[in-house]
Structure 1
Amino acid sequence: MQLPTRTSDLRVALFSGNYNMVTDGANKALNRLVGYLLAQGAQVRVYSPTVENPAFPPTGDLVSVPSFAIPGRAEYRIATGLPASVRRDLAEFAPNIVHVSSPDPTAHRAVTWAREQGLPALASVHTRFDTYPRYYNMAWVEPLLTAILRRFYRRCDALVAPSESFAQVLRDQRMNYDISLWSRGVDRHIFDASRRDMAWRRSLGIADDEVVVGLFSRLVMEKGLDVFSDTIDELNGKGVKHRVLIVGDGPAREWFEARLPNAVFAGYQAGTDLGRAVASMDVLFFPSVTETFGNVTLEAMACSLPVVCAEATGSESLVDNGVSGRLIPPGRIHAFAEAVRAYVESPELRAAHGAAGEARSRDFSWDRINQSVADTYLRLIRQKVAGRK
C-alpha cells in the first residue's frame, strides 16, 4: 500500500447502517464528512442499506448492502453481511482505510475484510447503543450488549467519538485503547437567533408573551420523552405559565401527543424551517441520556437558547452548568422542573445564558472537525504501514 500523505490521497470505504434512510444526527454527520472529503480530493465509497424512498439524497457514491427491517421500527434496517458482489466492489475500489459507523453484521464482516487486506479499520461511535434496552423494558440485556460491542470495537484499530465525555465512557468500558474525537459542527446559516419568527409562532396559536419550552428531536422513547412529559406535568401542577412546542416526528409521536394534549406539535422540519422553529423557542428542554454529542443542544445554543439537559455524555461537553444552561442528573423530575421554571420566569436569565451558549457554539467549525477525521485516517494508515516493516 502506497503511503498517503495528504487528504487527497485517501480512498475511504465507509460502512453505514443508515446513510440516508431517515434523518438523524449520525447520518447527517456522515454525509457532511463525505462531502468534505470529496471536496478535498479524496475518494469515498459508501456501503449501506437502502430504501426506495430515502429521507434525502446521499452524498457520494452509495452501494446497497443486504438488510432487513427492524421489527417494530421498520424505518431502520439491519445490514446483514458482506456478499460476494460487495466484496468485488470493495476490491475494485481498493480503499486504503475502512470506516465503520454501526456495529451491525456487515460492519463486523467489513472489519474482518480490512484485517485480511492489511488495512486499518476505524469505527465511529454515534450513539449509546448499550442504553437503548432500558427504554423497552429490557435493561437486563445491557451487560451482554456491552460485551458484544467491546468485542467489535476492540477488533478495530481505533475509535472516534463525538465528545470527550463519551470518549471517556468508552475508555472506562475498555472498548479500545486508541480513542480520539470527531466532534460535531453547527450550520450557522440555518441555526441563528435572527431566524426567530413571531408570525410563525402566532400561526401555531402561540401568543407573543408566552414563554415556549421546546423540544426538537426524532420522537422515539429513548430521547427521554417520558421524563419530558413528567416534568411538564410538574410545571403545570405548580402553575408555571408556559407553552410546549414539539418539533419532529417518529414512531412515538402518537404516544407523545396523547401524553401532552396541550402541546403544539409542529411536525418534521428541515433546513431553514428547522432553524426558524428552534430560534422561535425560548428554552430547550432535552432530557435524553442516549446522546453521544448532542447536535440538538448545540443547534439550540447557536440560536441563543438556554438549555436544560440531562447530565450525561455529550451534553456535559457542551453545556457550562449555570452559565449557558443547566445539567440535571438523569430522571430527576423535580430538578428538571425547577431548572426549566427558572428560565420561564426570568427573561434576564434566559438572555444571559442564551448569549453564553451562542458564544460557545462558535467553537464548532465543520471543516476543522472533519479534517480531524481525515488526519486520523492518515495517522492510522502510517501506523499500519510502519507495523509491517
Structure 2
Amino acid sequence: MDVTDLRVALFTGNYNYVRDGANQALNRLVGYLLKRGASVRIYSPRTEKPAFPSVGKVINIPAIPLPGRAEYRAPVGLPLSARRDLKQFAPNMVHVASPEVLGHRAISWARNHDLPVVASVHTRFETYPRYYGLTFLEPLVLALLRRFYRRCDAIFAPSESMAQLLREQRMSYDVGIWTRGVDKEIFSPSRRDMEWRRSHGIADDEVAIGYLGRLVMEKGLDVFSDTVETLRRRGVKHRVLVVGEGPARDWFEKRLPDAAFVGHQMGPDLGRALASADLFFNPSVTETFGNVTLEAMASGLPVVAARATGSASLVREGVTGQLVAPGAIGSFADAIQRYIEDTDARRSAGEAGLRLSDRYGWDEVNQALVDSYLRIIRHRSTGAQPPRGPFG
C-alpha cells in the first residue's frame, strides 16, 4: 500500500471560516495528499464568506455559533447526509482535528466500521478556562480530552514538547509528531519594508515589538500589554506592531494606545508586516506548536516567548531568543529590553532563528504524517485492534 491508495476522511469543526495556524496546516496537508495522488474528503461546517480559499471537497456539517464567540461555530453532529457521503467515499483512514461533537461522532463511526482513526492536536483546550475565570473547569476538560483521544489509534502533536505533555497527561498510548512547516517565499527578511513601517508611524530608529495572531484573550494579550507597560515605565524606547484581528481588539487597543494596529494581513502582505518588526513577543501558553513563532524566526526576528509547549521546542534559549516563565511580566520585560538596547544581540538571534527555520519544509512535514497513516493501516491489516483504555 502507498499514498495513492489512501482515502482520508478529515473531520474538523473549522476548515476555512476562521484563518488560523491549525486550519492552514490542515489545508496544506490536504493539498499535499491530493498532490501525491491520495483521495480526501473534508467534513466541516461551511460558510458563505470563508476567511480564505480552502483546498479539497468540503461536505457541509450543520453548526451553531459558539456563545460569546460567534466567529466560531460548533458542529451539532454527523448528519445522515454526511453518513451517506461517507459510505460512498469509503475511506480507509479517518482523521479528526477537533475534540467536539463532530469529532466524537466521527470516532464512533470509524470504530463501528472497523476503520483506523487518528487525531491531530492543535491547541491546548484545557488551558482556555483560566482566561475566562473558569479555572476550576480545567480538570473536567482534561478528563473529556482524555476520553476523546484514547478512543483513537494514535494522536499527533506538532512539537516534541507537546507530545511529552500529552504522554504525561495519559492522553494516548501512541503519540506521534506532525510538526509544522513555514512558507519561505512569504516569510523572509527580504520582505522588510521601511517605507511601509513609516506609513504606520514607526520611525526608523524605533525598535518595533511584533505581535501576530488572533486577538483573543487566550493568546496572552494581558501579559503582552502588561509587559509593554513595564517597558514604558522603565523609559525603554520602543513601538508595538500588532498584526491580526479578533474580538479582543478594542480591549487591546485601549491597553496599547500608541501601538500600530495593521489588522489582518495575508500572503506577501503578512510577510512584509512581520519582517518589518524588529523582534517578536509571544506570551501565549495555549499553542501546541506556535506557527507564528516559526514564521517570526523565518523572518529573521529574535523571539521572546513563554516557556510552554510549542515555543519551547522552537526557541533555542540565548541563541534564537529567550524563553520566560509564563506570566512573568518583569522577566519578559528584561528579555525584550535587552534586545531593544543591544543591536548586536538582536541581529545575532535573528540570524540564528533564520538558519534554524530552514529545517521546516512543508512537504517533509506532511510526508511524515502520511508515513504514519500507512503504518497504522498496515498495523490494523494484521488484525490488531485500536487501543482500549478505561474509557474505550
Pick the TM interval, shorter chain.
Answer: over 0.9
Count of aligned positions: 385
> Which residue of structure 2 aligns with residue 183 of structure 1?
179
Shift of 1:134: 0.3
> Which residue of structure 2 aligns with residue 12 of structure 1?
8
Report matched runs for 1:226-237 at 5 Å: 226-237=222-233
> Which residue of structure 1 aligns with residue 100 of structure 2?
104
Tell me the TM-score normalized by structure 2.
0.97
> Which residue of structure 2 aligns with residue 166 of structure 1?
162
Residue ranges of structure 1 left out of the alignment (5+ in a row):
none
Could you tell me how far apart the structure 2 residues matched to 1:11 and 1:98 are?
Answer: 9
1:290 corresponds, among 278, 286, 290, to: 286
Residue 272 in structure 1 maps to residue 268 in structure 2 = yes
Shift of 1:385: 1.1
Could you tell me how far apart the structure 2 residues matched to 1:180 and 1:34 are?
Answer: 19
Report matched runs for 1:69-148 at 5 Å: 69-148=65-144
SS in 2 for 1:326: strand
What amino acid does structure 1 have at the position aligned with 2:262?
A
> Which residue of structure 1 aligns with residue 24 of structure 2?
28
Could you tell me how far apart the structure 1 residues matched to 2:64 and 2:135 are?
Answer: 24
What amino acid does structure 1 have at the position aligned with 2:300?
S
What amino acid does structure 2 have at the position aligned with 1:280?
S
Shift of 1:110: 0.6
SS in 2 for 1:78: strand
Contact 1:80 1:104 in 2 (8 A): no
What amino acid does structure 2 have at the position aligned with 1:181?
I
> Which residue of structure 1 aligns with residue 360 of structure 2?
364
1:204 corresponds, among 190, 196, 200, to: 200
Could you tell me how far apart the structure 1 residues matched to 2:71 and 2:47 are?
Answer: 9
1:310 corresponds, among 290, 306, 311, to: 306
Could you tell me how far apart the structure 2 residues matched to 1:331 and 1:107 are?
Answer: 32
Residue 321 in structure 1 maps to residue 321 in structure 2 = no
CA RMSD, Structure 1 to Structure 2 (Å): 0.8
Residue ranges of structure 2 left out of the alignment (5+ in a row):
386-392
Shift of 1:115: 0.7
Could you tell me how far apart the structure 1 residues matched to 2:55 and 2:375 are?
Answer: 25
Shift of 1:40: 0.2
SS in 1 for 2:86: helix
Shift of 1:51: 1.5
**Percent identical across equivalent pairs?**
63
Could you tell me how far apart the structure 1 residues matched to 2:11 and 2:37 are?
Answer: 20
Could you tell me how far apart the structure 2 residues matched to 1:107 and 1:226 are?
Answer: 32
What amino acid does structure 1 have at the position aligned with 2:181?
G
Shift of 1:57: 1.8
Residue 192 in structure 1 maps to residue 194 in structure 2 = no
What amino acid does structure 1 have at the position aligned with 2:376?
L
Shift of 1:388: 5.5
1:111-169 CA distance string (max 9 Å, x none): 01111111000000000000000000000000000000000100000001100000011
Could you tell me how far apart the structure 2 residues matched to 1:57 and 1:250 are?
Answer: 19
What amino acid does structure 2 have at the position aligned with 1:103?
P
Tell me the TM-score normalized by structure 1.
0.98
